[in-house]
Amino acid sequence: MKKIILSVLLVTFVTGFSSCKKDKSSEKDILEFWVGDVKYDINGTSITYLYPKASENVWTGWVAMPIAPSKVELSSSASINPPLSEKQDFEAGVTYTVTAEDGSQQTYKVKAEKTTNLD
């Protein structure tokens, strides 16, 4: 009788843990993107920083390129490529691919643009 009870408890224990399998996250967002002290605006999969002229040939917020991002916040368990430690020329534009825990991907275009007008 003890063997039967022990077997039932063991089966219950094992099946209980196997049914607690966690689904992998499909979140693949860039939540914040910074270059130097400048926070870029996120609009869907387009990430931009528009910097205006302060005076003739002087652009506010300009950071010499190439440079690596200073801070990037991603969805939990997501990864990004190319690596954030790599220097990039954001004036030329950079494409990042964010991969979720479940393997799904989303691309983001990141660009710094000079503008003479900001609304």
Residue 105 CA to residue 98 CA, distance in Å, equals: 6
- Tens of pLDDT, residue by residue, the chain (119 residues): 556 655 555 555 555 555 555 789 999 999 999 998 889 999 999 999 988 877 777 777 777 889 999 999 999 999 999 999 999 999 999 999 999 999 999 999 999 988 876 55
Q: Which residues of 14-45 are buried (b: 16+ CB within 10 A; e: fewer)?
A: eeeeeeeeeeeeebbebeebebeebebebeee
Is the bond preceding 66 in cis, omega lying within 30 degrees of 0?
yes
pLDDT at 60: 77
**Closest Cα to residue 49, out of 36, 40, 57, 58?**
40
For the record, the structure tokens of 111 come out as 């660009």
86: Cβ contacts below 8 Å, ≥ 6 apart: 68
Q: What is the pTM of this model?
A: 0.75
Which CATH fold topology does 24-115 show?
Answer: Immunoglobulin-like (2.60.40)
Residue spans per domain, the chain = 24-115
